[in-house]
Chains A and B, each alone.
Chain A
Amino acid sequence: MRPILLKGHERPLTFIRYNREGDLLFTCAKDHHPTLWYGDTGERVGTYVGHNGAVWTCDVSDDSSTLLTGSADTTAKLWDAKTGECYFTFTFDQPVRAVALAHGGKRAAITTDPFMGVPSAIHIVEIDLEDRSRQTARVIRRIDGPQGRVTRVLWGPLNRTVITGGEDGIIRSWDAENGEVLKISQEHSKQIQHLSMSEDGSHFISASLDKTAKVFDSETLECMKTYSADRPVNAAILSPIRDHIVLGGGQDAMSVTTTSSKAGKFDSKIYHKIFEEEIGGIRGHFGPINALAFNPDGRSFTSGGEDGYVRIHPLDNSYFEIP
């Protein structure tokens, strides 16, 4: 397999997402410019210029027309995906850590970090994809989150709930209407870095610094599977077509005592989703892997690392032969 290397970001990657069909790839990094690439060739299409801080997260509408990004500069921006123009900015008091468009794209959840005693918050806003001029910054509901920061937010089935994971390692599902905590899961012992929903919305996977990734039922938050890794896990994703998961992570560069920067030994690990067994690994990054995304067609996945590189991994027969 020959991965395609994308060297567009100067700073560590923070987030990667494909559009619904998988032909567009959006990458966010600590440099301020989220970038759009073609998912098949890796050719860079453009960058979204406007943020003044690290871009932590993004989400794209189902029709691939609109991009929503969240940044450390305390804003969340709506962009025209095609032209790169930012047409709306939500401004908050704290850095925006996670964004997620609801099913159907009419709403979005935007989370902000805690600051000076103010806890983290989940802001539910309305998104008008049809008429952008009608977009307002109105927050339908503001949910006060936990004390620690919320690193990822997902919309539950039928948009009835939002599910968050964060610094305290606790996964919570909130009622999207009234903001009540419906369920809590305390399976992880350290910060949750990433949450990723399955194709059908029935389960999601979490990645945690406690060196595990876990699969949960989206309704009950019951922990169904656990995958043990030998490194803190920064990202975990579910294959849309096979019973596999991919996880990536690694020690923070500063805490690594070796000068192994040239070795390229940080790898993405593939596990069998049901048997929780490690199948194999794909290496190549020169630093910890911070972000992962599966192409919706299941035939490739993309990883983004601390080293600023994005690698599109097309999967070949050696992968598909695995039972």
Chain B
Amino acid sequence: MDAIPSNFPRDEDGFVDWNKVDVESVELPRDEFERAGLDKPVEAEIEELKQESGFASVIVVDNLPMIAEAKYAKLLSVLTKIFSQIGTIREGGLLMPQDDSKTSLGFAFIEYENEQQAQSAVDQTNGYQLDKKHVFKVCKFDDFEKYEKVPDEYVAPPPKPFAKRENTQAWMMDQRGRDQFVCRFGDETEIFWNDPQTKKGEDVYTRTHWTESYVQWSPKGSFLATVHRQGVALWGGESFGRIAKYAHNAVQFIEFSPCERFLATGSTHEPSKAGETTQVLVNFFDTRSGAKLRTFTGPISDFIAEGQQGLTWPVFKWAGQSNGKCGAFFAKIATGAISVYEAPEMTLVDKKSIKLPGVVDFCWSPADPILSCFQPEQNGGNVPARLSLIGLPSKQEVRSKNLFNVVGVNMHWQSGGDYFAAKILRTTKSKKSTYSGFELFRLREPNCPMEVLELPNKAEKIVAFAWEPKGHRFAIIHGDGARPDVSFYSMKDKQGNNNCTLIGTIKNKTANHLFWSPNGRVVILAGLKTMNGQFEFFDVDAMDTMASVEHFMATDVEWDPTGRFVTTAVTSVHQMENGYHMWTFNGKLLYKYGKDRFFQFLWRPRGKSLLSPEQEADIEKNIKKYSKRFEEIDEKIRNEADSSAASEKRIKEEKWRNWLESKKAIRETQAYKAAEADVVGETQANSRKDFVETTVIEEEILSIVEEPI
């Protein structure tokens, strides 16, 4: 690369004649970036660096009044006043040319200190109404050329050729109704079909270095998102090709909206200088078009509740949607308020946040746009703690309750939004010990009635709480010892009335987590971490344990979306024995897969069923008919593994027979027979011809017993 521009005057011998160099015409070298040849990041939408023309900080203001010399100075000072508010105009940077008759031409050039100011000026003054007849038209000098080139005639852009997109729902069409899951081992990301007949995972797609940090399925399973330095990519369809990408430098978290139409990507940025706070940046994208809909940025305090230290993701929580519509609410917590936004407009509902002084936590119902939130005691106890359910977009309180002596609250919504439970940890009057209680809300009843539940032993520690998905029951693990008890309650009593009743308690279980099957009825009482991977498959209908199994040191439990299978996995938290075990819903081990450096296991979610409730009921009635068909298919598959072996066998057998025959043929030849007679004295065929058949009595011994006498 020539440091000395080529247009410099040179001598015959090629050397620069410095005497002849015109200093003024020397152009500064181009941008550092270009010279050094810095690699552009692949796949990033970093804007192309503009060449510095030197006019980047200059703007053109058009549509100015064309005035006579007399008024020139006045106009000039008016312009100066307006435009110097936006930025610092360079000395001598305001130029309003005049024609020969000293009438202003109607436009002016203004040069700012830097490009940002110029851009600001454009943004802020373009369209500014100076007076009745003059509305500023302001643009950057560099853009001027661009605008000039706009043809007068509108020419529609040529349509881009239609690139057929793959069917992102293709996996749901699996004939055998299998589910997929993704595993990350080391650098590899693998997607498998869970195949209970062949008792292993059938490989669908494997890719090394597919993601830079983690992967996540979209809520309906259409896409797999991978997270990279420059942003997020979505992959889907049968071949898992890339569907879309979204730029977000140093992205750390992602969150889909339940309808999959929106994707939030978030990152935190540590301050570079001391004294500054961590910045949070969240972008919202439209997944289908890839357009960035809105950016939220600011110090971390804007995104967390009062008193919290670190950022918890998701910062923006999406409201659930049972009605299938896709205008979604999402909300974030901030100091003393919850800001609820509406997608796709991305604006605050009613243009303001919900003021909830001291609010520390909130939660959406998975089905309706109702959020639950908790505000602890304020004002030294004068204002009691408050638990409320607020409906959107009305922002009306559906229900609320004041609480006293609260230490903490955990919120639990039931999967269908039918019930809401809040575990309240309170201190006793003496403040020496704590006790727990539950506030249970029935959302489907008029006025959202509320019930209080306290365990027989209130002071017991509540280890876990979980609603039964799609059901009316919940399970609580409670107890202070190493083997707590598990109690099951139903929100309906035996007569079907809305009465919270205890179904039963099983004592002394090694369990510290509850994993309900997504269809309810079956729950896994899991003993993770210190309990070293004990699992009990419990049928709540029968109140009976179906199986008790162990997966030593398991760290994760994942049900498949249908509730037929569940996986226990040992992730790379542990050094050894990484891998997963696949179980049926009743605790039968199907198969295992072990590989080191196991990071993630995620089932692919299923979208909502396309069948109407009537159709589903119909299938359930005729289940025998359907199951028979599938049994046959399963049987065939099981045997297929063998039938390939069977055809192999046939080939082997044929080969052998042919060989035998060929050998026999040789023996049958005259030459051979003659030789045989010569050498052996008789041919094999002739030997033993003196066999005679006779009938003989044979004994078939049934038993022999020997004993001393």
* B688 at the A interface (CB under 8 A): yes
> Which of B653, B681, B701 is within 8 Å of A274, CB to CB?
B653
| Chain B residues with CB under 8 A of A200 | 663-664, 667, 684
**Most chain B CB atoms below 10 A, which of A158, A201, A224:** A158
* B652 at the A interface (CB under 8 A): yes
Contact check, B659 vs A224: say whether CB atoms are below 8 A apart. Answer: yes
Which residues from 655 to 684 on chain B have a C-beta closer than 8 Å to any C-beta of chain A? Answer: 656, 659-660, 663-664, 667, 672, 675-676, 679-682, 684
Contact check, A159 vs B680: say whether CB atoms are below 8 A apart. Answer: yes
Contacts known (A200-B664, A202-B660); A104 close to B681, Cβ less than 8 A: yes
| Chain B residues with CB under 8 A of A20 | 687-688
Contact check, A159 vs B679: say whether CB atoms are below 8 A apart. Answer: yes
| Chain A residues with CB under 8 A of B688 | 20-21
| Chain A residues with CB under 8 A of B656 | 224, 243, 273-274
A274 to B654, CA, bound (A): 9
Q: How far is the CB of B663 from chain A (nearest CB, A)?
A: 4
Contact check, A158 vs B649: say whether CB atoms are below 8 A apart. Answer: no
Contact check, B652 vs A202: say whether CB atoms are below 8 A apart. Answer: no
Contacts known (A200-B667, A274-B652, A274-B656); A158 close to B684, Cβ less than 8 A: no
Contact check, B652 vs A158: say whether CB atoms are below 8 A apart. Answer: no
A202 to B672, CA, bound (A): 13
| Chain B residues with CB under 8 A of A203 | 663
Contact check, A158 vs B664: say whether CB atoms are below 8 A apart. Answer: no
> Which of A21, A201, A275 is within 8 Å of B652, CB to CB?
A275
* A103 at the B interface (CB under 8 A): yes
Contacts known (A200-B663, A202-B660, A274-B653); A158 close to B687, Cβ less than 8 A: no
| Chain B residues with CB under 8 A of A224 | 656, 659
Question: How large, as a class, is the contact surface on chain A?
Answer: 20 to 34
Contacts known (A62-B687, A202-B660); A104 close to B649, Cβ less than 8 A: no
| Chain B residues with CB under 8 A of A62 | 687
| Chain B residues with CB under 8 A of A243 | 656
> Which of A21, A158, A202, A275 is within 8 Å of B675, CB to CB?
A158
> Which of B659, B680, B682, B704 is within 8 Å of A158, CB to CB?
B680
| Chain A residues with CB under 8 A of B684 | 200-201
Q: How far is the CB of B459 from chain A (nearest CB, A)?
A: 57
**Most chain A CB atoms below 10 A, which of B649, B679, B682:** B679
A243 to B660, CA, bound (A): 12
| Chain A residues with CB under 8 A of B681 | 104-106
Q: How far is the CB of A79 from chain B (nearest CB, A)?
A: 21
Contact check, B680 vs A2: say whether CB atoms are below 8 A apart. Answer: no
Which residues from 338 to 367 on chain B have a C-beta closer than 8 Å to any C-beta of chain A? Answer: none
Which residues from 177 to 208 on chain B have a C-beta closer than 8 Å to any C-beta of chain A? Answer: none
Residue of B whose beta carbon sits closest to that of A215: B656
Contacts known (A200-B663, A200-B684, A202-B660); A275 close to B649, Cβ less than 8 A: yes
| Chain B residues with CB under 8 A of A105 | 681
A21 to B692, CA, bound (A): 12
> Which of B664, B672, B680 is within 8 Å of A103, CB to CB?
B680
| Chain B residues with CB under 8 A of A104 | 679-682
Residue of A whose beta carbon sits closest to that of B696: A40
Contacts known (A158-B675, A275-B649); A2 close to B659, Cβ less than 8 A: no
A2 to B704, CA, bound (A): 10
| Chain A residues with CB under 8 A of B679 | 103-104, 158-159
| Chain A residues with CB under 8 A of B682 | 104
Q: How far is the CB of B456 from chain A (nearest CB, A)?
A: 56
Which residues from 18 to 40 on chain A have a C-beta closer than 8 Å to any C-beta of chain B? Answer: 20-21
| Chain A residues with CB under 8 A of B704 | 2
A274 to B663, CA, bound (A): 16
Contact with B along A249-278 (1 / 0, CB 8 A): 000000000000000000000000111000
A243 to B659, CA, bound (A): 14
Contact check, A2 vs B660: say whether CB atoms are below 8 A apart. Answer: no
Residue of B whose beta carbon sits closest to that of A273: B656
| Chain B residues with CB under 8 A of A158 | 672, 675-676, 679-680
Residue of A whose beta carbon sits closest to that of B648: A275
| Chain A residues with CB under 8 A of B687 | 20, 62
A275 to B680, CA, bound (A): 33
| Chain B residues with CB under 8 A of A217 | 659
Q: How far is the CB of B152 from chain A (nearest CB, A)?
A: 84
| Chain A residues with CB under 8 A of B676 | 103, 158
Contact with B along A191-227 (1 / 0, CB 8 A): 0000000001111000000000000010000001000
Which residues from 41 to 68 on chain A have a C-beta closer than 8 Å to any C-beta of chain B? Answer: 62
| Chain A residues with CB under 8 A of B667 | 200, 202
| Chain B residues with CB under 8 A of A21 | 688
| Chain B residues with CB under 8 A of A274 | 649, 652-653, 656
Q: How far is the CB of A3 from chain B (nearest CB, A)?
A: 11
A202 to B664, CA, bound (A): 8
A274 to B701, CA, bound (A): 33
Residue of B whose beta carbon sits closest to that of A107: B679
Q: How far is the CB of B10 from chain A (nearest CB, A)?
A: 80
Residue of B whose beta carbon sits closest to that of A225: B656
Which residues from 92 to 144 on chain A have a C-beta closer than 8 Å to any C-beta of chain B? Answer: 103-106
Residue of B whose beta carbon sits closest to that of A202: B663
Which residues from 633 to 652 on chain B have a C-beta closer than 8 Å to any C-beta of chain A? Answer: 649, 652
| Chain A residues with CB under 8 A of B672 | 158
A275 to B682, CA, bound (A): 34
| Chain B residues with CB under 8 A of A106 | 681
Contact with A along B7-36 (1 / 0, CB 8 A): 000000000000000000000000000000
A270 to B384, CA, bound (A): 83
A158 to B671, CA, bound (A): 11
A201 to B667, CA, bound (A): 10
A183 to B264, CA, bound (A): 75
| Chain B residues with CB under 8 A of A275 | 649, 652-653
Given contacts A104-B681, A224-B656, A274-B653, 16 further A-B contacts (CB under 8 A): A2-B704, A20-B687, A20-B688, A62-B687, A103-B676, A104-B680, A158-B680, A159-B680, A200-B663, A200-B684, A202-B660, A202-B664, A217-B659, A224-B659, A273-B656, A275-B653
The 20 sampled A-B contact pairs (Cβ below 8 Å) are A21-B688, A62-B687, A103-B676, A103-B680, A106-B681, A158-B675, A159-B679, A159-B680, A200-B664, A200-B667, A200-B684, A202-B660, A202-B663, A202-B664, A202-B667, A203-B663, A224-B659, A274-B649, A274-B652, A275-B652
Tell me the A residues contacting B by CB distance below 8 Å.
Answer: 2, 20-21, 62, 103-106, 158-159, 200-203, 217, 224, 243, 273-275
Tell me the B residues contacting A by CB distance below 8 Å.
Answer: 649, 652-653, 656, 659-660, 663-664, 667, 672, 675-676, 679-682, 684, 687-688, 701, 704
